[in-house]
A and B are shown apart, each in its own frame.
Chain A
Amino acid sequence: MSNFTDKIKQISPAEKKMLKNMFKASFVMEHSYNYERQQGLGFSLGMWPAIREIYDNKEDQGDALERHLAVFNATPHIETLIMGIAAAMEKEASINPDFDKGSINAVKVALMGPLSGIGDSIFWGSLRVVAAGIGLSLCQAGNPLGALVFLLVYNIPHLIIKYCCTFAGYAFGTDLMGNIQGSGVLDKITKAATIVGLMVIGAMTASMVALSLTGTFTVSGNEFVIQDYIDQMFPMLLPLLYTLLMFYLLQVKKMKATTLLLLSIVISFVLVVCGLI
């Protein structure tokens, strides 16, 4: 890890300032959480200090801002790790004309799944429960300071870790970029990141998209649940088909995401009214 620790020491004062600003900007991550892009808007705003520093002209900046509006969802406490890595990759992209900018989002997608898994269990799971336990014992006795204790026990480690993650992510990303000599290995990393990214999206489609025709129909006095029959053939078939349908409408039919959102709501309504759900 000697390269890595070296890279942290090598971060220039200008870069340090950029990373500190990114840390501060990262707190608005969840303000506009929505179903279309999840934390996308927050992430892009968090990246702005880096984008402003790395790119000079408005076109590149706008490009980068829009790039980082892509769907993103990770535990807010460790998001700065991914932001740091993305910043290092953007820096490489600005210097190296052969750099495939698509790899940045591929790496983000590949990372957000596993980091969220770890982050959620550490922060939402362990740390929160420990802090709540301490605060609870005070509050149950009627002492309002328990709430303050809860907030302190939780947020002090949280803020320290989040701050360090920004720098760690950037150092790791710079290290990674620095070791890549020819564009050959870069292509391979991009391809690898795309593979992992696609697999993770496939996995998330199965676990987070929910479409279950729980409606029942009666035949000669016996009640049948429609979804049971679909499940016997192919579990999660409907979420898969629906996601692929959305993809087709976006990619081939060039429909806008907002239209698809409204379409989804209308379809939900129709399904419920028809008794299919």
Chain B
Amino acid sequence: MVFRPLVVGTLVGIALGDPVMGAKCGAALEVVFMGAIQIGAAVPPDAMLGAGIGTALAIITGKGPEVAFTLGFPIAVFGQSIKIVCFIVRSWYMGLACKYAREVQVGKMHALNWFGLILQCTIYGLVGFCTIYFGSSVVENVLNNIPEVVMKSLEVAGGLLPAVGFALLLQPMMTSKNSLYFFLGFIMVAFASQSVLAVTAFGVVVAFIVVFEIGHGKSNDMSDEVEDKELEALFDE
């Protein structure tokens, strides 16, 4: 939680010598960004960048918490795209991570993992540095001049990339027979607008029915008894 505006704002305030103002700006921004959290793969405007830059500019210009949001929000939106770029860049060394895993080179895997974090921090640091150094208006101009095409493409790519991850997950599990369940889960969300949680609950019931109920008519009585006993043992309180 150290990346939330409450903490970031206060820390920036301490760094600039005005912790009281930092805390006030942090509080104001926390309220605004309260809903900006990452659920699953959906990335919201970046609260950390927005709060950090907003608080810093509010204190430097001496204007107070009211302007922290106006100054910080454009950067927060930019931070959203930066994060997506970060996620995409990190995807590129996953193949290398697999190679290290197979060779049990855990130290190198750790290095890759930390690199991911350092990459993100470095980019954020650069953005922060440039904004404070050049002033927010200059940075805003640069942001506005990034072609709409590039920003939009990144947004669309962000929506497509999870498909690659899911396809990877499906690899060991999906056969032509099993694909039935994949489509069932899909249909429940696409057509019946159920939540993933609802699908899981439903899935557990379906799994039980398919695995334990339907098979019983065909298998012989002996194995039935043994399996029933084992099943009861599973649920013994």
Kindly specify which of B66-74, B132-140, B158-166 makes contact with the partner chain: B158-166
Contact yes or no, A195 B207, CB < 8 A = yes
Known contacts: A139-B23, A151-B1, A155-B1. The answer to whether A41 contacts B97 by CB under 8 A is yes
Interface string of A41-83 (1 = CB under 8 A from B): 1101100100000000010011101100111010000000000
Cβ contact of B95, chosen from A117, A151, A256, cutoff 8 A? A256
Known contacts: A66-B102, A151-B1, A268-B160. The answer to whether A139 contacts B207 by CB under 8 A is no
Centre residue among A36, A66, A147 by max chain B CB count within 10 A: A147
A225 interface residue, CB < 8 Å from B? Answer: no
A1 interface residue, CB < 8 Å from B? Answer: yes
Known contacts: A69-B98, A209-B163. The answer to whether A199 contacts B22 by CB under 8 A is no
Q: Which of A11-44 contact B (CB under 8 A)?
A: 28, 31-38, 40-42, 44
Centre residue among B14, B152, B156 by max chain A CB count within 10 A: B156
Write the chain B residue with the least CB distance to A118: B197
B6 interface residue, CB < 8 Å from A? Answer: yes
With the chains together, A2 CA to B90 CA distance in Å? 45
Contact yes or no, A65 B106, CB < 8 A = yes
A146 interface residue, CB < 8 Å from B? Answer: yes
CB of B84, distance to nearest CB on chain A (Å):
8
A226 interface residue, CB < 8 Å from B? Answer: no
With the chains together, A32 CA to B199 CA distance in Å? 28
With the chains together, A26 CA to B26 CA distance in Å? 29
Interface residues on chain B, number (Cβ under 8 Å): 111
Known contacts: A102-B172, A185-B227, A192-B208. The answer to whether A265 contacts B153 by CB under 8 A is yes
CB-defined A-B contacts under 8 Å, sample of 17: A40-B94, A41-B109, A66-B102, A70-B168, A113-B196, A132-B4, A136-B31, A144-B22, A150-B1, A191-B207, A194-B178, A199-B185, A202-B199, A243-B170, A261-B91, A268-B156, A268-B157
State the A residues within 8 Å of B (CB).
Answer: 1-3, 28, 31-38, 40-42, 44-45, 48, 58, 61-63, 65-66, 69-71, 73, 102, 105-106, 109-110, 113-114, 116-117, 120, 124, 128-129, 131-132, 135-136, 138-140, 142-144, 146-147, 150-151, 154-155, 176, 179-182, 184-185, 188, 191-211, 234-236, 239-240, 242-243, 246-247, 249-251, 256-258, 260-261, 264-265, 267-269, 271-273, 277
State the B residues within 8 Å of A (CB).
Answer: 1-2, 4, 6-7, 9-11, 13-14, 19-24, 26-28, 30-31, 34, 37, 39-42, 87-92, 94-95, 97-98, 101-104, 106, 109-110, 112-117, 149, 152-154, 156-174, 178-179, 181-191, 194-197, 199-204, 206-208, 210-212, 223, 226-227, 230-231, 233-234, 236-237
